[in-house]
Amino acid sequence: MNRPLEGSWAQVIDYLNTLPNEIVSIDLPAGLLADKHTPGNAVVKATRTFSFESPKRAFLFPENAERVGDWEYGSIGLHLDFYNKTETPFHYLTRHQAGLLLRPRTKFSHKGTFGHALLIAGSYGKMGAAVLAARACLRSGAGLLTVHAPRIGFLALQTAVPEAMYSPGHRAHYWTETPDLQPFQAIGIGCGIGQAPETAAALEEFFRMMESGNSGTPGLVLDADALNLLAQHPHWWRLVPRNTIITPHPKEFERLFGKTADDFERNDLQRRKAQEHGIFIILKGAHTAIACPDGACWFNSTGNPGMAKGGSGDVLTGLLTGLLAQRYAPRDAALLGVFLHGLAGDRAAAEKSERGMTAGDLAEAVGKVWNW
Amino acid sequence: MNRPLEGSWAQVIDYLNTLPNEIVSIDLPAGLLADKHTPGNAVVKATRTFSFESPKRAFLFPENAERVGDWEYGSIGLHLDFYNKTETPFHYLTRHQAGLLLRPRTKFSHKGTFGHALLIAGSYGKMGAAVLAARACLRSGAGLLTVHAPRIGFLALQTAVPEAMYSPGHRAHYWTETPDLQPFQAIGIGCGIGQAPETAAALEEFFRMMESGNSGTPGLVLDADALNLLAQHPHWWRLVPRNTIITPHPKEFERLFGKTADDFERNDLQRRKAQEHGIFIILKGAHTAIACPDGACWFNSTGNPGMAKGGSGDVLTGLLTGLLAQRYAPRDAALLGVFLHGLAGDRAAAEKSERGMTAGDLAEAVGKVWNW
Amino acid sequence: MNRPLEGSWAQVIDYLNTLPNEIVSIDLPAGLLADKHTPGNAVVKATRTFSFESPKRAFLFPENAERVGDWEYGSIGLHLDFYNKTETPFHYLTRHQAGLLLRPRTKFSHKGTFGHALLIAGSYGKMGAAVLAARACLRSGAGLLTVHAPRIGFLALQTAVPEAMYSPGHRAHYWTETPDLQPFQAIGIGCGIGQAPETAAALEEFFRMMESGNSGTPGLVLDADALNLLAQHPHWWRLVPRNTIITPHPKEFERLFGKTADDFERNDLQRRKAQEHGIFIILKGAHTAIACPDGACWFNSTGNPGMAKGGSGDVLTGLLTGLLAQRYAPRDAALLGVFLHGLAGDRAAAEKSERGMTAGDLAEAVGKVWNW
Amino acid sequence: MNRPLEGSWAQVIDYLNTLPNEIVSIDLPAGLLADKHTPGNAVVKATRTFSFESPKRAFLFPENAERVGDWEYGSIGLHLDFYNKTETPFHYLTRHQAGLLLRPRTKFSHKGTFGHALLIAGSYGKMGAAVLAARACLRSGAGLLTVHAPRIGFLALQTAVPEAMYSPGHRAHYWTETPDLQPFQAIGIGCGIGQAPETAAALEEFFRMMESGNSGTPGLVLDADALNLLAQHPHWWRLVPRNTIITPHPKEFERLFGKTADDFERNDLQRRKAQEHGIFIILKGAHTAIACPDGACWFNSTGNPGMAKGGSGDVLTGLLTGLLAQRYAPRDAALLGVFLHGLAGDRAAAEKSERGMTAGDLAEAVGKVWNW
């Protein structure tokens, strides 16, 4: 279907939606466009939708939540060759796909093999974000972790995360200067750093250090206040290294790239910006979307609303940084990290409940989902 | 039965109570009034009482513990319509009733959907109360939590509760000033705050901020020293916002509202005060009673004496604040919070024991009882 | 048997002990005196001993470990009346005996019902002792706990034991002054307090406060450095309140009461001193012995060598203080506390192992053994 | 086979290695030398190797990982006498061998029986190393543990490891002076101490204290920065006490003893140095090698690549120090410690996963593997 329903069809649907019955849609709820925004009300509000081969893009956006209801999909026997040859930039990140990205951990490897991650995180009142990111990073399989944090963070970090080394900042309360980056294969910046002017200056200086090339080319993840600062200083975009992974939630995305009329437009904008800046944009949400520099866009299949809590994002940043430290390619790290983050959320919800789980549970659960 | 037994009946009962036998009462122990205070000794001391349809109010008060013994109730086949039509302000809060209050956690929700809670808690020597309240709040399903505490609380909070943000107070040892309330959907005040004069002033200033209306109308929970301070400044009552939830234990209740002759009078007073101030009064005890502004009074069915320990109340306050942050109506938050708090207590007692469980176990257990 | 074996019997036994065979003794290993010290070598070294009705006192002392081997006992059908009428000051503290001491936790009880415990514990470098004692106390069923500790202990306590209130001392590093004792039903002093002269003075002042009677008559437990200080100031003995519980290990016992020639003499001395001072002396060891002011002596049946680690004693002190706070009679608290402490040790060893368990595991396990 | 393959045999092997097939070798992959370095490419790259009686030394080195693949060995019925009589300095440390080293924990033992361990560990930013070493030591069965650390380490240690006593250093940030060594049966030095010049001076002073003999002859473990400092001051070697255990990873080994051409040469060098200095050299890796002063060399059979993470080495040091404190002979401590460390790693990997486990999990797991 390519255009919205009108006239008497629309009236029938309006009527259907007033009934108390459970409505099951096959393929697509009547009136819903599969691949673009469907305005207006002339769309069946299905309780449940069964679809074929793979989920339609329309299923993956909040704007259609009420129309699609719970959905599932199954094969109708399309030949796999046909399926694989259908070129599309849109992919659904399944257990199988994620499994292909996992690399073995070989016997004679040592902690150097698995890289050294650096997290620049935390500020006065937000040290917990650093703790959560560090815990997730430690459960990512990385060999070594250093957390650079303001001096006030020393005790919280060394008590709560004894496995991580602590690199003390110059100031007590916020990030002002970047340590030598030579030892690190991956850097994650932003969790709980706040937006002090000195921190903004530190972030700009960091970008210039990266640009100088003296620090090698470590993988980079930007999150939270690093993104908010970037949104305030759009001229820094030219300093952001290629293949950087950024992980905005919808509000941060809007601050960075502006408003859009609907979820399809937002997804298009996300893909365009990923190509324009040569970066990976992970837009967090129910079906987290990962836009790649080559135009591809993956939608995640794991996770649950129990993760809609402060600190979940810090866990993702720590995990992604840990994967990059192990020299996973940025695309593989982005996909695997998002998938595992959701899987850990599902594990935590199974152990506690969606309501009762915390971001701390989520970070712990990262350690338990690798042998999924 | 409407009046106490006298004469030879009373003698028979006196005699019965001297026997070593187990006594089983049906409906009510002989001599006990169902709905008002029964003075004197002319009441059978039952080992066990079987009652019908619902527990009598007399069963729910400490003064009758020795008379009613262990009690149960079952249906005798009264028609449900009859039962539902019987108008009474008194309700027994069962698993079924509580279940009706639970709201789904929908797929495309995000942390903003679940609100931002503020706890004003802790002082030098009582930071643990803030930690316990925060832990329970984090397991309530709320999206974000900020704990405002004296400066000395920074480390305890950021180490023990990394998921919570910390808002530092102006003074090292106690609460003196209220942060901007704009971001918060719910506020819980009182756990471990102490009664320093500056803290009393801060509480009054807080009430005036709320009265000004510039802070929106966040849900409010008052507990512990906030109640003790309120008891010392009764003229503040006119500043207490409508629909505030207060959670006194019996001594705090007495300080607030005065002594009563018996448990029935106390219950009546509780209901009157809830109506007078337009608030919810949760009187904590074996069958915690929740008096509503409309005159209704609910008695809780969950919980056990293992919860009779320092810190249990802090857990309740954290949980209630977290429910309000999620925009549960104050009545629903009060009922659901009390019910879940008791259920968590039962869970902790099952895992450890009534004697061996701690308030920390209770806070953890809150995370596990949502799928009851 | 009343006297050591001599002559050819002794030679036979010498020969037996050279054999590689497993030796099983019935009743008593040949040559061993049941109730007094057996000198010399003319005693069979049994691999295993089966005894009747109850263990002999000789089985319970280290000096006979090699002679008795593993032992068990069973009934040979002595009439219970006979058994109960046999007067002896010596008792074996079994699961059954301990069970008789447990009091129910009634439904309408509240935290006040279960008392307020005070621990005076910790010093710079030994704050962990305070943490361990506090954890055990919180798992004793007590209603409230306050820990009075030097100022440097604030954070360790409020982070690690949020359920406990903290009463800050006047000095940073050690105990110098006692807080108002009015609120407390039980006081435990000594874990990790060190032996600074100011601390000695504080202890003496504490005894005088107790003597003045203005502090009511809270239960009292003295342990560790409180005992070492008492050993250095024997004139304080007259200040030690009646019914105080002291918990020396063998070295502390020796410092307090002097050396003895053998384990029987030590046991006699222990009983005499308990009577002389009107106190309970808990001599810690494999079969911890509890000497009562009335001359009775109980030997504990629970526990294992995995508890032979730093911190185990702190756990016992916390537990005993918590029991006294609940107004268990000192004798019952002493017996129940020692029994449960050993049971918790057995539980921790079952979960980890004797070697791998820590005192922290032991404190946690106290919470799990109440429903034994 | 004693020399590399050449000519047409080599060609056959080159061809075999290009095939996609799975290759199973019996006894040895064709072309591989069992007991010395095999240069070049003329060696079959087996997917799997089945060998006889015991693994060949060649299987145990990284350089042959690709050639041997996964390997197993089984008995072909060689008479045990023959096997035991074959003299070889090389041993494979199996579950059975390690089991022979375990000593019973007897009933009447007390905390003194199990010794007092001292860890000198931690510096500003690396206090976590001290925490991890302490946790492992506490799970080693030792009776008492003191951690000597810079003043800044007080809180991290007393909160995270309450069972350990804390001995404060003179300086805030690093180790500068050694406490009285009299009370200790074993000392572990190096985890996270850094390489400040004052720390180097402290280490030298420590060696001189040991040399003076006034400190008795406690067991000694040197690790991490203690080894790096020793590498910078080779003239200290004459001060290193006999029977010291050192635990370098390959890079630290190289700094201490220089580079070698291949893994066999490194193993030879390790054995020579152990004999020369009269010490135990534990070279950490997939099959950790323990070289003894008498020329013997043991290869460990437990462990997995999940242990290739920062902090694993600290756990080993803590465990070894705890075993020495219990007066295990240095050789037995070295073998048992390495074996248990690997077993704990296998346990942690089974509970979490190789990727998801942390060094903290490893330290915890040490407590659970004693009853293997």
Range with the largest mean pLDDT of A104-118, B18-32, C187-201: C187-201
pLDDT for C84 equals: 64
Q: Which of the other chains make 3 or more beta carbon contacts under 8 angstroms with chain A?
A: B, D
pLDDT for C224 equals: 97
pLDDT digit string, tens, across residues A260-291: 999 999 999 999 999 999 999 999 999 999 99
Q: Lowest mean pLDDT: which of A64-73, A76-85, B333-342, C294-303?
A: A76-85
pTM, two decimals, is 0.94
D343 in contact with chain A, both atoms CB, cutoff 8 A: no
Amino acid at C77: G
A82 in contact with chain D, both atoms CB, cutoff 8 A: no
- The predicted model gives A324-351 an average pLDDT of 98
Q: How many CB atoms lie within 10 A of CB C7?
A: 8
Of C139, C159, C371, Cβ closest to residue B156: C159
Of B138, B158, B167, Cβ closest to residue A358: B138
> Per the structure block, which two tokens stand in for B250?
């019996």
- The predicted model gives C263-288 an average pLDDT of 97
| Residues of C whose CB is below 8 A from D168 | 124-125
Kindly provide the b/e burial profile for residues D118-140, where b requires at least 16 CB atoms within 10 angstroms of the residue's own CB.
bbbbbbbbbbbbbbbbbbbbbbb
- The predicted model gives A306-318 an average pLDDT of 97
Q: Is D336 exposed, middle or buried (0-12, 13-18, 19+ CB in 10 A)?
A: buried
Task: Look at the block and give the residue holding tokens 């069958």.
Answer: B287
| Residues of A whose CB is below 8 A from B154 | 124-125, 152
B47 in contact with chain C, both atoms CB, cutoff 8 A: no
pLDDT for B84 equals: 64
pLDDT for B298 equals: 97
A145 in contact with chain D, both atoms CB, cutoff 8 A: yes
Kindly provide the b/e burial profile for residues C331-370, where b requires at least 16 CB atoms within 10 angstroms of the residue's own CB.
bbbbbbbbbbbbbbbbbbbeebbbbbbbbbbbbbbbbbbb
C149 DSSP β-pair partners: C168
What does each C-alpha distance from C362 to C132, C186, D318, D366 come to in angstroms?
9, 22, 21, 16
Of A343, A356, A306, A2, the residue nearest A139 (C-alpha):
A343
Q: Which SS3 state, helix, strand or coil, does residue A13 take?
A: helix
D86 in contact with chain A, both atoms CB, cutoff 8 A: no
* Integer Rg of chain B from CA: 22
- The predicted model gives C185-195 an average pLDDT of 98
- Rounded to 5°, the CA angle B173-B177-B179 comes to 120
Query: Is C343 a residue whose pLDDT tops 80?
Result: yes
Torsion sign (Cα): B127, B130, B134, B136:
positive
Torsion sign (Cα): B316, B322, B325, B327:
negative
Q: How many CB atoms lie within 10 A of CB D152?
A: 21
pLDDT for C325 equals: 98
- The number of CA neighbours under 13 Å toward the Cβ of B329 is 6
C45 and C67 Cβ atoms separated by less than 8 Å: yes
> Per the structure block, which two tokens stand in for B300?
């809780």
> How many interface pairs between B and C have CB atoms less than 8 angstroms apart?
114
D368 in contact with chain C, both atoms CB, cutoff 8 A: yes
Of C138, C131, C50, the residue nearest C326 (C-alpha):
C138
pLDDT category at C52 given cuts 50, 70, 90 is confident
> Per the structure block, which two tokens stand in for D202?
């402290």
Which residue would you say has higher pLDDT here, C106 or B235? B235
- The predicted model gives D24-38 an average pLDDT of 89
Interface probe for D, chosen from A145, A163, A166 (most Cβ of D below 10 Å), is: A163
Interface probe for D, chosen from A107, A155, A315 (most Cβ of D below 10 Å), is: A107
Q: Which SS3 state, helix, strand or coil, does residue B242 take?
A: coil
Please tell me the distance in Å from A152's CA to the nearest CA on chain D.
12
pLDDT category at A84 given cuts 50, 70, 90 is low
Say yes or no for a CB contact (<8 Å) between C164 and B128: yes
Distance, in Å, from the CA atom of C74 to the CA atom of B366, rounded to the nearest integer, reads: 47
* Integer Rg of chain A from CA: 22
pLDDT category at D1 given cuts 50, 70, 90 is low
Query: Is D6 a residue whose pLDDT tops 90?
Result: no
Query: Is A301 a residue whose pLDDT tops 60?
Result: yes
B11 DSSP β-pair partners: none
C360 in contact with chain B, both atoms CB, cutoff 8 A: no
Q: Which chain C residue's Cα is nearest to D136?
A: C356
pLDDT category at D271 given cuts 50, 70, 90 is very high
pLDDT for C110 equals: 82
- The predicted model gives A235-239 an average pLDDT of 97
Percent of chain D topping pLDDT 70: 97
pLDDT for A82 equals: 62
Please tell me the distance in Å from B96's CA to the nearest CA on chain A.
19
Query: Is B148 a residue whose pLDDT tops 70?
Result: yes
D305 in contact with chain A, both atoms CB, cutoff 8 A: yes
pLDDT for C7 equals: 79
Of A194, A130, A132, the residue nearest A358 (C-alpha):
A132
Of C110, C114, C155, Cβ closest to residue B155: C155
Distance, in Å, from the CA atom of C231 to the CA atom of C252, rounded to the nearest integer, reads: 8
pLDDT digit string, tens, across residues C66-84: 898 889 888 777 666 665 6
Torsion sign (Cα): B34, B40, B46, B47:
positive
For helices D250-257 and D224-232, angle between their N-to-C axes, nearest 10 degrees: 20
Task: Look at the block and give the residue holding tokens 């002999």.
Answer: C56
- For B235, residues 6+ apart whose C-beta sits below 8 A from its C-beta are none
Distance, in Å, from the CA atom of B199 to the CA atom of B213, rounded to the nearest integer, reads: 22
D161 in contact with chain C, both atoms CB, cutoff 8 A: yes
pLDDT category at D216 given cuts 50, 70, 90 is confident
> Per the structure block, which two tokens stand in for B131?
């930690």
pLDDT for D172 equals: 96
Of A152, A250, A357, Cβ closest to residue B367: A357
For helices B359-366 and B330-351, angle between their N-to-C axes, nearest 10 degrees: 120
Say yes or no for a CB contact (<8 Å) between C250 and D110: yes
- Rounded to an integer, what is the distance from CA C127 to the centroid of its chain? 21
Query: Is C213 a residue whose pLDDT tops 60?
Result: yes
A172 and A150 Cβ atoms separated by less than 8 Å: yes
A33 and A58 Cβ atoms separated by less than 8 Å: yes
| Residues of C whose CB is below 8 A from B353 | 367-368, 370-371
What does each C-alpha distance from C222 to C187, C285, C319, C363 come to in angstroms?
9, 17, 12, 19
Say yes or no for a CB contact (<8 Å) between B165 and A310: yes
pLDDT for C228 equals: 98
pLDDT digit string, tens, across residues A191-231: 999 999 999 999 999 999 998 887 778 999 999 999 999 99
Mean pLDDT, chain A, integer: 93
pLDDT category at A339 given cuts 50, 70, 90 is very high
Query: Is C126 a residue whose pLDDT tops 90?
Result: yes
Q: Which chain D residue's Cα is nearest to C159?
A: D159
B267 and B56 Cβ atoms separated by less than 8 Å: no
Q: Which SS3 state, helix, strand or coil, does residue C45 take?
A: coil
Please tell me the distance in Å from C151's CA to the nearest CA on chain D.
12
pLDDT for B197 equals: 98
pLDDT category at A40 given cuts 50, 70, 90 is confident
Which residue would you say has higher pLDDT here, B72 or C134? C134
- Rounded to 5°, the CA angle C43-C48-C54 comes to 90
Query: Is C279 a residue whose pLDDT tops 90?
Result: yes
Distance, in Å, from the CA atom of D359 to the CA atom of D137, rounded to the nearest integer, reads: 14
**Residue A89 carries which DSSP code?**
S
pLDDT for A213 equals: 80
In degrees and rounded to multiples of 5, residue B303 shows phi and psi of: 105, 170
Say yes or no for a CB contact (<8 Å) between C105 and B354: yes
Residues within 8 A of B (CB atoms), A 310-329 only? 310-312
Query: Is B332 a residue whose pLDDT tops 90?
Result: yes
> Per the structure block, which two tokens stand in for A160?
């709560």
B352 in contact with chain C, both atoms CB, cutoff 8 A: yes
Say yes or no for a CB contact (<8 Å) between A310 and B143: yes
pLDDT for C262 equals: 95
- The number of CA neighbours under 13 Å toward the Cβ of A200 is 12
Say yes or no for a CB contact (<8 Å) between D370 and C361: no
pLDDT for D7 equals: 79
Interface probe for B, chosen from A60, A355, A361, A362 (most Cβ of B below 10 Å), is: A355
Say yes or no for a CB contact (<8 Å) between C128 and D167: no
* Helix locations, D28-167, DSSP H: 65-68, 80-85, 95-101, 127-138, 154-160
pLDDT for C92 equals: 95
Q: Which chain A residue's Cα is nearest to D315?
A: A163
Q: Which of the other chains make 3 or more beta carbon contacts under 8 angstroms with chain C?
A: B, D
Query: Is B83 a residue whose pLDDT tops 70?
Result: no
- For B187, residues 6+ apart whose C-beta sits below 8 A from its C-beta are B117, B118, B119, B120, B181, B218, B219, B220, B221, B321
pLDDT category at A80 given cuts 50, 70, 90 is low
In degrees and rounded to multiples of 5, residue A86 shows phi and psi of: -60, 110
Query: Is B115 a residue whose pLDDT tops 70?
Result: yes
Interface probe for A, chosen from D355, D358, D364 (most Cβ of A below 10 Å), is: D355
A142 in contact with chain D, both atoms CB, cutoff 8 A: yes
pLDDT for B111 equals: 79
A161 in contact with chain D, both atoms CB, cutoff 8 A: yes
Q: Which chain C residue's Cα is nearest to B69?
A: C107
Query: Is D42 a residue whose pLDDT tops 90?
Result: no
Of C160, C304, C312, Cβ closest to residue D162: C160
Q: Which chain A residue's Cα is nearest to B372?
A: A353
pLDDT category at D75 given cuts 50, 70, 90 is confident
Q: Which chain B residue's Cα is nearest to A65?
A: B108
